[in-house]
Amino acid sequence: MIKISILYPNSPNSRFDLPYYIGTHMPMSIGLLGAHPGFKGVSVEQGLGGAVPGTDAAYIALCHFHFDSLESFMDAFMPHAAALQGDMPNYTDIEPIIQVSKVLISQ
């Protein structure tokens, strides 16, 4: 299984509309990508703080899609890339960090 992580760095001048992201963008994303047979799940996290109490979280939000393979993710994503990426200005001005990982342990 692979995980596609979309990480939104936290910075004082950035804009991130979490209610829009949770209520509009993610349901659209899940509806489009979740229809693919290789889709295994998704999680979304909100950064609350850093390692030292009272410090800011490194990321304001994180999204993790799980697919059976990178090819499955690309097959699910590419037909909808323009719509999903085109919706980003509605909730953020942050350039996300994207990482593809192989899941070695999951319970």
pLDDT tens by residue, 46-96: 999 999 999 999 999 999 999 999 999 999 999 999 999 999 999 999 999
CA nearest to 36, candidates 61, 82, 73: 73
Average pLDDT over residues 26-44: 98
For residue 7, the model assigns a pLDDT of 98
Region of 54 (left: φ > 0; alpha: ψ -120 to 50; beta: rest) is left
Percentage of the chain modeled with pLDDT above 90: 96
Other C-beta atoms within 10 Å of 59: how many? Answer: 19
Cα 30 to the center of its chain, rounded Å: 11
Give the pLDDT score at 69.
97
pLDDT value of position 55: 96
Token representation of residue 88: 């980003």
Alpha-carbon span 36 to 14, nearest angstrom: 33
**What pLDDT score was predicted for residue 83?**
98
Q: Using the 8-state DSSP alphabet, how is residue 21 labeled?
A: I
pLDDT, residue 84, reads: 98
